[in-house]
Amino acid sequence: MKIEIKLGPAGSGGSNLDGIKHVKKIGLQAMEVEFTYGVKMSLELAKQVGELAKKFNIQLSVHAPYWINLASQDSKKLEESKKRILDSCEKAHYLGAKYVVFHPGFYEKRDPEKVYKIIKESLQDTIKRNKYKDVKLTCETTGKTGAFGNLQELLKLKKEIDIEICVDFAHIYARQNGKIDYAEVLKHFNGEHLHSHFSGIEYTEKGEKMHLIMGKPDFSELAKEILKQKQDITIICESPVTWQDSLKQKEILEKLGYKF
């Protein structure tokens, strides 16, 4: 059975309708709709974008706003965080997108176990309030050491409640001070489709500083491990040149023998 690998950019580079057409034209298979600065898309447009994506067989996902902290000590900010996720889920439903990706929250100098419990409760409440059961809350591995969301925390959450994980390989690399074991990461997802992000990244002792064009971490090593483990995966490119780097990823995988 052939493994399924889908590649595409974070964002459309303009209008989402034009973005989908361009994704199809250049031979990519996915696109992440960016609500990072607010969920501003109308339902009518979401339906149009979703229909076009279905027509062209482009897999859509959604990135919810950056301003989310499910461990906030401010009840108003906590409720606003949940609403941003729920608003994203509504648009994702009409887009035909399964994954609503977001950064879960921050430790704020508190005990990580305490923060884990708070975020778990916040997620459970948000899942309960999500009317669109075809859409999954998808917690992203975070790159800063002060942010909740290392891989182990998210794997534990996934076992306990109904969430998905977005593995951001660059974030893991930055959080671990320039180290990543692709085989170790992928072994947790064998047999299921994995939604992921990839880019180059600059980091400090506190983790992620900024996303860069592809270089480090090494995508070719990830590509080899994906093929070795026969891992079904969607890779959304978050580099400053999303289209170009998605095409580089495609070229690397094709040289290794994968046929899109």
pLDDT score, position 191: 79
- CATH for 5-255 is 3.20.20.150
The pLDDT tens digits of the residues spanning 1-46 come to 689 999 999 998 889 999 999 999 999 999 999 998 899 999 999 9
Percent of the chain residues topping a pLDDT of 70:
100
Give the CA dihedral 9, 13, 16, 18, nearest 10 degrees: -110
- Residue 47 has what pLDDT? 97
Would the pLDDT of 202 be above 70?
yes
- Residue type for 137, please? L
Contact 27, 251 (CB under 8 A): no
Across the chain, mean pLDDT equals: 96
Share of the chain above pLDDT 90, in %: 96
Q: What is the pLDDT of residues 51-87, one digit of tens each?
A: 999 999 999 999 999 999 999 999 999 999 999 999 9
Report pLDDT for 14. 85
pLDDT, residue 190, reads 85
* Residues pairing with 6 in the sheet: 234
- The model's confidence at residue 245, banded by pLDDT at 50, 70 and 90, is very high
3-class SS string, the chain: CCCCEEEEEECCCCCHHHHHHHHHHCCCCEEEEECCCCCCCCHHHHHHHHHHHHHHCCEEEEECCCCCCCCCCCHHHHHHHHHHHHHHHHHHHHHCCCEEEECCEECCCCCHHHHHHHHHHHHHHHHHHCCCCCCEEEEECCCECCEECCHHHHHHHHHHCCCEEEEEHHHHHHHCCCCCCHHHHHHHHCCCCEEEEECEEEEECCEEEEEECCCCCCHHHHHHHHHHHCCCEEEEECCCCHHHHHHHHHHHHHHCCCCC
Which residue in this structure is represented by tokens 């009409």?
94
What's residue 2's pLDDT? 84
Provide the edge-to-edge strand list for the sheet that holds 59-63. Answer: 5-9, 233-237, 194-198, 164-168, 136-140, 99-102, 59-63, 30-34
Identity of the amino acid at 216: K
Q: What backbone phi and psi angles, to 5 degrees, belong to 138? A: -125, 105
Name 210's bridge partners.
202
The pLDDT of residue 65 is 95
Report, as an integer, the average pLDDT of 157-183. 97
Residue type, 128: K
The pLDDT, as a whole number, for residue 1 is: 66
Lookup: tokens for 237:
């490119």
Q: At 73, which amino acid appears?
A: Q
pLDDT tens digit string along 186-195? 999 987 999 9
Task: Tell me the mean pLDDT in the region 132-141.
Answer: 97
